[in-house]
Amino acid sequence: MSREFVALLRDRPEIRSALEGLETAAGSVLSVGEQPGVTQVFDGAGRLLVIVRNPVLIAVPSEAERLLGTTVTTPVWWVELRAAGGVDEAVRIAEECADRLAADHDGLVWNESSP
């Protein structure tokens, strides 16, 4: 089953920079590809690990709370990250990327286990 993370950020992120330097636990370098609307992260064997959707500006007060149950001050940039199902490494990489985005852009990370 896939796992979803949402980074809620104060300023518009540069997705590629958050992905730079990511590696697998074994130290393999990951490759990054771009399609309209998404950035994709692949392992050395070419398996899709993570999809990162382009940032969307949320300006409506309480929209994040309505959708996620999380209160944030708007405006906020919404970035969805989805880890491939059945690949533990994908979850770690998606979470690390979301955490980097939040740290670099004064934000927070929501995931399915968030309160």
Expressed as residue numbers, the domain containing 106 is 3-111
Q: How far apart are CA 9 and CA 13, in angstroms?
A: 8
Residue 99 is encoded by which pair of tokens?
A: 């955490």
Q: What CATH number should be reported for the domain holding residue 77?
A: 3.30.310
pLDDT at 56: 96
Looking at the structure of the chain, the number of domains it has is 1
Q: How far apart are CA 44 and CA 114, in angstroms?
A: 31
The pLDDT tens digits for 14-27 are 888 888 777 665 56
DSSP for residue 24 = -
String of b and e for 62-89 (b: at least 16 CB within 10 Å)? eebeeebeeebeeebbbbbbbbbeebeb
pLDDT at 114: 59
Beta carbons of 106 and 9 less than 8 angstroms apart: yes
The pTM is what? 0.88
pLDDT band at 115 (very low <50, low <70, confident <90, very high): low
Residue 113 in this model has a pLDDT that exceeds 80: no
pLDDT at 25: 56
Percent of the chain with pLDDT over 70: 93
